[in-house]
Amino acid sequence: MEPPWSFEAWRALARAGWCAQAGPDDVAWDGGAQGGLLMGRGLLELTAAVPPPRVSADFMQLAASVLCHRDPQRHAVLYRLLWRIASGEKALLERATDVDVHRLRQWQKAVQRDTHKMKAFVRFRRLPGEEEDFVAWFEPEHWIVDRVAPFFARRFAGMRWAILTPYRSVRWDGEALNFGEGAVRTQVPADDAQ
């Protein structure tokens, strides 16, 4: 199963749903325990009746951000907006008073705040007994590790480091980012477990 924040997974399922003309009320986006896309495999098997929808780059960027939010309704709300835009409401994202648009903008702001906090407050500590390995602990409110990791890779390119969170870890070996399972606080030096 794809991670719950995967834009590529949501996009494939949403595209399949639109092409099969499965309306927003006909699709049950089951978030599961982790908020993933458990329901959607059936959408990929539906017969396409229409070509894929065309939406703006702004919508795609908004969707990629909102999918990092933990609200289990995000997949359904995004699909409903996609459906409305593809059905002719081209300027929908400009309507700040629309309930769905407002909700998505709030989620986007929450993800941006969490992203800023991670960039500002992650502090690397040298691992005991290691000259060049560093680790940091962070507890994000949303699924942002994959979005923020490239920032740390650029900023600390010359270090080997790991950022551990309860749901996801990322390691930089000086050449590539490697993502893994979540961790517990006891896996970092005590002075960083804040």
DSSP 58-90: HHHHHHHHHTTS--TTHHHHHHHHHHHHHTT-T
Q: What is the pLDDT along the chain (194 residues), one digit of tens a residue?
A: 478 888 998 998 899 889 989 899 888 886 544 444 445 556 667 677 888 899 999 999 999 999 999 999 999 999 999 999 999 999 999 999 999 999 999 999 999 999 999 999 999 998 887 778 999 999 999 999 999 999 999 999 999 999 999 999 999 999 999 999 999 998 887 764 44
Residue 147 and residue 83: Cα distance in Å, rounded? 26
Longest dimension (CA), the chain: 61
Q: Do residues 109 and 151 both lie within one domain?
A: no
Judge whether 118 lies within some domain: no
Domain that holds residue 92: 7-113
What secondary structure letter does DSSP report for 96? T
The angle at the Cα of 93, spanning 147 to 69, to the nearest 5 degrees, equals 30
Q: Do residues 86 and 152 both lie within one domain?
A: no
Task: Give the SS3 label for residue 99.
Answer: helix
Which residue, 113, 138, 169, sits at the end of a domain? Answer: 113
Judge whether 2 lies within some domain: no
Judge whether 1 lies within some domain: no
Q: Do residues 137 and 174 both lie within one domain?
A: yes
Judge whether 137 lies within some domain: yes
Contact 108, 62 (CB under 8 A): yes
pLDDT attached to residue 168: 95
Q: Do residues 150 and 97 both lie within one domain?
A: no
- Rounded to whole angstroms, what are the CA distances from 93 to 61, 87, 161? 12, 14, 39
Q: Do residues 82 and 172 both lie within one domain?
A: no
Contact 164, 187 (CB under 8 A): yes
**Burial class of residue 38, CB neighbours in 10 A (0-12, 13-18, 19+):** middle
- Does the predicted model carry a pTM greater than 0.85? yes
Q: Which phi and psi (to 5°) does residue 21 adopt?
A: 60, 40
Residue 107 tokens read as: 């989620």
Q: Do residues 80 and 157 both lie within one domain?
A: no
Counted domains in the chain: 2
Q: Do residues 148 and 93 both lie within one domain?
A: no
Q: Do residues 134 and 109 both lie within one domain?
A: no
Q: Do residues 11 and 98 both lie within one domain?
A: yes
